[in-house]
Amino acid sequence: MTRIGAVSYLNTKPLIHGLRDRLGPSDSLTLNLPSRLATQLQAGELDVALIPSVEYFQGDRYQIVSDAAIGCRGPVWSVRLVSRVPVKKIRRLALDEGSRTSAALVRVLLWQMYGVRPQTTLLSMEQSPESADADAVLVIGDRAMHPERGVYSEIWDLGDRWCRHTETPFVFAMWVARPGVETSELQQLLAECRDEGCANLESIAAEHAAAHGLTNEDLHRYFAENLHFHLGPAERSGLQLFQQGCLELGLLRQRSGGLPTQRLSADG
């Protein structure tokens, strides 16, 4: 029996395409928020989970179990910093409560690019970015895709900013197992689901676009052009740099063993 958890967000749909049908009769698949999945994995309530990269850094002896991941190699569209003032003048930053990884990413970029360490506050899921009492706001997901025009002095696509700043891809989430879990069969299964999902992006987009206020074409373009679903050597280099940036700002506790650097084989 393997207990698997996956993020319930739109960007995971190609990765988990057909996953439930491929699992054995005693296996289970749970969809939940990223922070809850990380808590469940840490508590031993899940064996394997698709968790944000910053949560992987916090884990104890976690192992990456597949070369299937959620990342970008340029503009990601769904993660943005919107600022009422020039970015170098940001003093108060509202962080979307939906993502700890993006919250860490924006702080690392502001520090490394401009030496800025703003005071932070949370933006709730019910609160509009325009109502935030802050110079700038981190927004993710649907509301990041179509920010209010004419309201902000600067709008950053954080995927684009990271890739240009570091010359590496950015990894938002990957499949991770807690210590002691046997994952040899699961590695291939997760890669096969990713490959099948990537081969069916048009139908996946058609199934989910309307519910998120997007056209089929927009969502297909998001899957095909903005997201990258493979974890290779370049992505691992990006993870290393992100981990170092988080540690520099004190956003993580030091993890024993560091980040694995070996190249994943074709089966994970």
Q: What is the pLDDT of residues 211-222, one digit of tens each?
A: 988 999 999 999
pLDDT at 33: 84
Tell me if 250 is assigned to some domain: no
pLDDT at 1: 84
Tell me if 45 is assigned to some domain: yes
Asked if 81 contacts 158 with a C-beta cutoff of 8 angstroms, the reply is yes
CATH assignment at residue 202: 3.40.190.10
Provide the residue range defining the domain that includes 104: 79-166
Q: How confident is the model at residue 254 (pLDDT cuts 50, 70, 90)?
A: low
Tell me if 182 is assigned to some domain: yes
Terminus-to-terminus CA distance in the chain, angstroms? 20
Residue in the block written with tokens 């395409």:
17
Q: Are residues 54 and 24 in the same domain?
A: yes
State the alpha helices, DSSP H only, in 27-174: 34-42, 53-58, 100-114, 142-145, 158-166
How many structural domains comprise the chain?
A: 2
Asked if 161 contacts 109 with a C-beta cutoff of 8 angstroms, the reply is yes
Name the more confident of 129 and 205: 205
Average per-residue pLDDT for the chain: 90
Q: Is the pLDDT of residue 255 over 70?
A: no
For 140-201, the DSSP string reads ETHHHHSPPTTS-SEEEEHHHHHHHHHSS-EEEEEEEE-TT---HHHHHHHHHHHHHHHHTH
Tell me if 251 is assigned to some domain: no
Q: How confident is the model at residue 14 (pLDDT cuts 50, 70, 90)?
A: very high
Q: Are residues 87 and 114 in the same domain?
A: yes
Tell me if 253 is assigned to some domain: no
Q: Is the pLDDT of residue 264 over 60?
A: no
* The last residue of a domain, from among 144, 166, 188: 166
Q: Is the pLDDT of residue 268 over 50?
A: no
